[in-house]
Structure 1
Amino acid sequence: MEGQIGNEKRKYSGFRRWSRLALFISCGGFFLWSFFQVVGEQTFIFDDTIRKIVNGLGIESIISFFHIFTMLGDKEGVIIILLISLALIWWRKRDYAAMGILVVGVIIVNELNKWLKDYTGRERPMTGPGAESLSFPSGHAMIGIFFYGLLLYLLLKYMKEDKYRIPTAIIGALFIFLLGVSRIFLNYHYPSDVLAGYAIGYICLVIGLLLYEWIYTFFANRPSR
């Protein structure tokens, strides 16, 4: 019986690794396709379709709801949450690897996002205040999935009660999803901007997590002096 359980666990673990690899490759492929579409000034059919649906739901209460999420994805919101997170991690866990990856990672991903926007030069769908910055890929989606995804991973890692893991993961994933959706509802981005932001942001997240695990394991296995 124990051998059978062990085999099932190995199969499940192998499935998870392959599914993550497939998602990583899919995100890379989608981002590259979107990137060259934008550079080639091609249109996305689903952009107009989704925007028409969203514009038809322009209820004031929904707009106000999404303003909350978009503020948490703004530079000021990310900095505030980052500082609070660093203080809590230092106070409770002294996880310096996590603190370093959070700070350096957010800076690098933000700079990469700005470079991609400057290179593609895609204008925003909106006009007026805020339209002076560029659109592709969405910074809220890209930085949001990296930063809040990393925070969610750390929260699940530190969590002692297994019964809270699944609800926490669902709530965290929903929050990250609404960060990107808010940019479409508020007309700051095309849907393709948000999807591409999620795709490249997920790639950055996976790289950040692998680097964190390597640093954490390296220092954990070092002999104490």
Structure 2
Amino acid sequence: MNLKYQLTRAFFVSLISLTAFASMAALVSADKVVRFDKAIIATVQGLESPWLTSVMELFTWIGSTKVVVVICLLIIFFLYNVLHHRSELMLLIAVVTGTPILNHYLKAFFHRARPDFHRLIEIGGYSFPSGHAMNAFSVYAILAFLLWRHIPTRLGRSVLILFSGFMIVMIGVSRIYLGVHYPSDIIGGYFASGFWLTAAIWFFQWYKERQPRLEARELGRNEG
């Protein structure tokens, strides 16, 4: 795929994600999503059962910071030692470390309290946007991006996308089911990470495009 096309696509996806997040944030701040949130929560929590609670707790655990760190270390090991990626590691590290930092400042800015009407687990902190949703989107989306070109078959790529999408959705839904996030927190988290991820990919692709030119220019100066 043409690199300029990739840059253009990453830019527009980043812009769309930013616009969508800003729109969701405006709706949340104006209390325009109350009915939407309550309707989704009622539907999701209406499925409550002991076995489903255990499943949702598992997905929430998978989306926790400790597990995300372990997953990222395994991905780094695989990319470096098996696929022999080098520069891609910087993209991965930037995405997964920048996501919680961005989430921290966004939560501090919006100060949205968590739901308090039916919690199955206890947790502190602010609610919007969801840190679990942001981390899940960043980790599994960047994983799909980095592994895509190494999978030769359409079936394999489809499995990769389905797996990544499934993990992102289930970790988000688990937070609604357990009563610690509003649906708008999850959606906002996805959009925020979508912006950060595609912006990072855009910068990475831009740097890759310019690097050979910079190296050639530097070589010419040294030879001169």
- Same structural fold, with TM-score higher than 0.5 when normalized by the shorter chain: yes
Which of 82, 91, 113 is the matching residue for 1:92? 82
Q: Does 1:53 align with 2:43?
A: yes
Give how far 1:129 is off: 6.3
TM-score by length of structure 1 reads 0.81
- Note if 1:34 corresponds to 2:28: no
CA distance in 1 between partners of 2:35 and 2:99 (Å): 28
- Percent identity of equivalent pairs: 25
Equivalent residue runs for 1:18-33 within 5 Å: 21=12, 24-33=14-23
Give the Cα separation in 1 of the matches to 2:147 and 2:10: 22
Tell me the alpha carbon deviations over residues 19-71 of structure 1, each in whole angstroms, 9 at most, x when there is no partner. 993x5544333311222233345543210001111121111211211222211
Shift of 1:123: 1.0
Q: 1:70 maps to what in 2?
A: 60
Aligned residues: 210
Contact 1:137 / 1:196 at 8 angstroms: preserved in 2? yes
Does 2:69 match 1:79? Answer: yes
Structure 2: unaligned runs, 5 residues or longer: 220-224
Residues 1:44 and 2:23 aligned together: no
Equivalent position of 1:6 in the other structure:
none
| Higher RCO, Cα 8 Å, sep 6+ | 2
Partner letter of residue 119 of structure 1? F
Structure 1: 5+ residue stretches without partners: 1-8
Q: 1:115 to 1:217 in 2, by over 3 A?
A: same
For the aligned residues, what is the CA RMSD? 2.8
Query: Is contact 1:38-1:120 (8 Å) kept?
Result: no
TM-score (norm 2): 0.81
Q: 2-side partners of 1:49 and 1:26: how far apart?
A: 26
2:141 is equivalent to residue 149 of structure 1? yes
- Deviation string 1:94-124 (CA, Å, 9 cap, x unpaired) is 3222211211222222111001111111111
